[in-house]
């Protein structure tokens, strides 16, 4: 079926259900950012493959809301589909509920009350309630109904049945028993007897299990109900090995079928804690009316974000392995053989991605990539979440800008790094200015200290200040949280303009990744992972505040030939020199002589007279 045929079929079901509109979000029953292909309903319906998008279908229109990261991508993928792009980051773009109210009010009524349909499994309790209230103010009802399942049949991928495994305490740093008891204590603070958990990374963290049900995310598709005297994991039986079964039994964790969670919740008559931002509406509606409910942020999410000493030590080891792979890759990229292939038009973005993957697989305790590598040459780098494939990847020539955003999942931890390099010698002045503005913001954010109690949105402008002075901005967040051998994106902490009440606390890991994107020309982004850590001393402090700063975890040199040194301060030069010295100190002993020699040239100090 082509997109138009799918829309026609969907509208037929909408008419039977008496719906004026139907909404399909890019998510799954577990509020995942990345999901198993079984739930990729927006992609199936519209052809859009981005991680963030919501399709709205009426009898005469089809629209897709997405943010600025995906404008270019969506514009390409929606071409010829009759689905229109709604640029939700633009100030004049209406919200979905606002648009629906206006659109439905101008349609002929099919009945006394107009209805919008959604699949409640794909909506969190909070979002479902918010939409229902917004529509109700205009006299529009919200109806729970799954209209995609009866349409997407023959070629719909099954829910994954991969086996999962115990994540050893030597990597996790805390036993499952200790974690469950800590969470039970948090439940008691809320006077809750049970807690239902649907977020896959939270389940993996608290039970010390990992799997491969979702590409790039070592999680297990499941639900969890944690009670004061009991713990039940709802998961497909085919996923449980003999060893895992023994591990779960040893930790007093019962196993039931994945879909049995709905019946189980209907039988609980106690106080149940749930996170309305994560738990889906269908799961909430299954809770017995005899039970009391408490809607609050999951204590697992908060605890998971604070990495313990063993987890942080593991991430540092993972960063060393990642650095080895990156040194080998960039050295290969600069080799004469590679340059000759580029000059002959024999290398593509896909080839670069494959080569980097090969180097990463050589790393100790490497499992898989932490997301699909973004290798954006020239204008493709301006597509923030660009995804090349083997058939359409651009040819890479030995002249121009290359943005490389990649990461790995290691048993020791999760990595995510972006480096932008210039291939060739003749560099436009604008390219140097853009790169240097990005680098200056990256360095300033990475070296700031702040009083405890500060939020990520209070630091966001530090990374943008130099761009803003030049009239430049970027639409994505400056930093996201990162898991420990879990999701490359995790909350609750982040660094972005949006208000987030979560304060930055020791042990949290964030990315630091400002960027500049010039459509059709190039994209520039520089990214390190950084961990919140206490400041040893503040001799000039005027208050009793506890001060925090970042520990830079990522170990990879910057492309110094792209720097306009006239824009750097002496302090910024010193920061660069100190960082490069640390990279060389940590990584050179892990390389062979030729690799270490190459790294030495990339990490050489910048002197006062440096100017290209």
Q: What is the pLDDT of residues 219-270, one digit of tens each?
A: 999 999 999 999 999 999 999 999 999 999 999 999 999 999 999 999 999 9
Q: Is 360 within 8 Å of 322 (Cβ atoms)? A: yes
With a pLDDT cut of 90, the percent of the chain lying above it is 89
Q: What is d(CA 450, CA 545) in angstroms, rounded to the nearest whole number?
A: 9
Range of the domain at 210: 165-296
Instruction: State mean pLDDT over 2-27.
Output: 95
Is residue 115 a part of any domain in this protein? Answer: yes
Residue 592's pLDDT band (boundaries 50, 70, 90)? very high
- pLDDT of 67 over the 90 cut: no
Q: Give yes or no for a contact between 173 and 310, defined as CB atoms under 8 angstroms apart.
A: yes
Which pLDDT does position 72 carry in this prediction? 81
Quick one: pLDDT band at residue 383, thresholds 50, 70, 90?
Answer: confident
Eight-state DSSP code of residue 38: G
For residue 201, which of 57, 334, 329, 300 has the smallest C-alpha distance?
Answer: 300
What's the residue count for the chain?
Answer: 612
Based on the fold, state whether residues 172 and 207 are members of the same structural domain: yes
Domain match, 41 and 173 both? no
Do 489 and 532 fall into the same domain? Answer: yes
Q: Residue 52 pLDDT > 70, yes or no?
A: yes
Return phi, psi of residue 350, to 5°: -65, -40
pLDDT band, residue 107 (cuts 50/70/90): confident
Instruction: Give the pLDDT confidence score for residue 61 in this predicted structure.
Output: 94
Q: Are strands 408-410 and 366-369 parallel, antiparallel or unpaired?
A: antiparallel
Phi, psi dihedrals of residue 553, rounded to the nearest 5°: -95, -35
Q: Is 151 a member of any domain? A: no
Q: What is the mean pLDDT of residues 312-335?
A: 98
Q: Are 192 and 273 in contact (CB under 8 A)?
A: yes
CATH of residue 441? 3.90.230.10
608 inside domain: no
253 and 319 co-located in one domain: no
Confidence of residue 612 (pLDDT cuts 50, 70, 90): very low
Within this chain, do residues 225 and 352 fall inside the same structural domain, yes or no?
A: no
Tokens of 84: 């229109």
Same-domain check for residues 469 and 553: yes
**Choice among 22-26, 43-47, 384-388 with the minimum mean pLDDT:** 384-388
CA distance 331 to 580: 16
Rounded CA Rg of the chain:
25
Considering the domain architecture, whether residues 350 and 403 belong to the same structural domain is answered as yes
The neighbour count for residue 379, using CB atoms within 10 Å, is 19
Percentage with pLDDT > 70 across the chain: 98
pLDDT tens readout for residues 338-355: 999 999 999 999 999 999
Three-class secondary structure of residue 149 per DSSP: coil
Q: Is residue 610 part of a domain?
A: no
- Predicted confidence at residue 119, as pLDDT, reads 97
Query: Is residue 244 situated within a structural domain?
Result: yes
CATH of the domain at 17: 3.40.350.10
Mean pLDDT score, 185-191: 97
State which of 296, 321, 352 marks the end of a domain. Answer: 296
What pLDDT shows up at residue 609? 59
Task: Measure the CA–CA gap between 120 and 271, rounded to whole angstroms.
Answer: 22
Same domain, 104 and 171: no
Average pLDDT, the chain: 95
- Final residue of a domain: which of 262, 296, 330? 296
Residue 38 has pLDDT above 60, yes or no: yes
Instruction: Say whether both 313 and 292 belong to one domain.
Output: no
Q: Which DSSP category does 521 fall into?
A: T
Is the pLDDT confidence value at 541 over 90?
no
Q: What distance in Å separates the CA atoms of residue 144 and residue 281, rounded to the nearest whole number? A: 9
> DSSP code of 325?
H
Number of domains in the chain: 3
Tell me the per-residue pLDDT of 132-171, one tens digit each, with 9 for 90 and over.
999 999 999 999 999 999 999 989 999 999 999 999 999 9
State yes or no: cis peptide before 492, omega within 30 of 0: yes
Query: Is pLDDT of 76 > 90?
Result: no
Same-domain status, 348 and 292: no
In this structure, the strands spanning 417-423 and 450-451 are: unpaired
Asked if 383 and 437 sit in the same domain, the reply is yes
């Amino acid at each position: 079926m082509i997109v138009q045929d799918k829309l026609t079929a969907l509208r037929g079901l909408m008419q039977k259900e008496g719906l004026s509109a139907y909404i399909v979000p890019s998510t799954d029953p577990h509020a995942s950012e990345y999901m198993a292909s079984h739930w990729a309903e927006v992609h199936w319906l519209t052809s859009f493959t981005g991680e963030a998008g919501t399709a709205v279908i009426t009898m005469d229109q089809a629209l897709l809301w997405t943010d600025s990261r995906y404008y270019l991508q969506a514009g390409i993928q929606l071409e010829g589909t009759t689905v229109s792009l709604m640029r939700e980051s633009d100030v004049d773009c209406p919200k979905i509920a606002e648009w629906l109210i206006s659109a439905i009010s101008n349609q002929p009524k099919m009945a006394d009350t107009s209805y919008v349909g959604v699949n409640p499994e794909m909506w969190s309790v909070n979002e479902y309630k918010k939409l229902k209230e917004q529509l109700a103010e205009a006299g529009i009802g919200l109806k729970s109904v799954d209209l995609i399942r009866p349409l997407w049949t023959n070629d719909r991928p099954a829910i994954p049945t991969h086996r999962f495994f115990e994540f050893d305490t030597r990597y996790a740093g805390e036993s499952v028993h200790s974690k469950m008891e800590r969470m039970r204590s948090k439940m008691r603070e809320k006077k809750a007897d049970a807690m239902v958990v649907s977020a896959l990374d939270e389940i993996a963290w608290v039970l010390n299990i990992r799997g491969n049900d979702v590409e790039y995310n070592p999680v297990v598709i499941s639900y969890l109900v944690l009670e004061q005297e009991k713990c039940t994991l709802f998961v497909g039986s085919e996923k449980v090995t003999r060893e895992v079964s023994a591990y779960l039994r040893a930790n007093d964790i019962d196993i039931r079928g994945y879909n049995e969670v709905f019946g189980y919740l209907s039988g609980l008559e106690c106080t149940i804690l749930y996170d309305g931002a994560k738990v889906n509406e269908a799961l909430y509606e299954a809770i017995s009316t005899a039970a009391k409910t408490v809607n609050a942020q999951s204590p697992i999410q908060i605890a998971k974000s604070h990495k313990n000493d063993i987890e942080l030590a593991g991430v540092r080891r993972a960063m060393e392995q990642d650095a080895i792979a990156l040194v080998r890759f960039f050295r290969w990229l600069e080799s004469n053989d590679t340059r000759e292939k580029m000059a002959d038009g024999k290398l593509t973005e896909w080839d670069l991605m494959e080569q980097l993957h090969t180097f990463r697989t050589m790393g100790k305790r490497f499992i898989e990539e932490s997301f699909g590598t973004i290798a954006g040459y020239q204008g493709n780098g301006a597509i923030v979440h660009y995804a090349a494939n083997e058939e359409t990847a651009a040819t890479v020539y030995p002249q121009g800008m290359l943005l490389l955003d990649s990461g790995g999942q290691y048993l020791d931890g999760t990595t995510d790094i972006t480096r932008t390099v210039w291939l060739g010698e003749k560099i436009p002045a604008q390219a140097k200015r853009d790169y240097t503005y990005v680098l200056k913001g990256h360095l300033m954010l990475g070296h700031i200290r702040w009083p405890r109690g500060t939020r990520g949105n209070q630091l966001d402008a530090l990374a943008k200040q130099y761009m803003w002075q030049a009239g430049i901005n970027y639409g994505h967040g400056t930093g996201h949280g990162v898991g420990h051998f879990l999701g490359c994106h995790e909350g609750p902490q982040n660094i972005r303009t949006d208000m987030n009440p979560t304060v930055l606390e020791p042990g949290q890991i964030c990315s630091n990744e400002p960027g500049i994107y010039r459509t059709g020309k190039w994209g520039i982004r520089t990214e390190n992972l950084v961990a919140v850590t206490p400041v040893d001393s503040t001799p000039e402090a005027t208050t009793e505040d506890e001060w925090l700063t970042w520990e830079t975890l990522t170990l990879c040199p910057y492309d110094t030939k792209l720097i306009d040194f006239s824009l750097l301060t002496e302090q910024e030069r010193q920061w660069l020199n100190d960082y490069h010295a640390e990279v060389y100190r940590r990584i050179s002993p892990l390389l062979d002589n030729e690799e270490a020699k190459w790294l030495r040239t990339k990490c050489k100090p910048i002197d006062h007279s440096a100017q290209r």
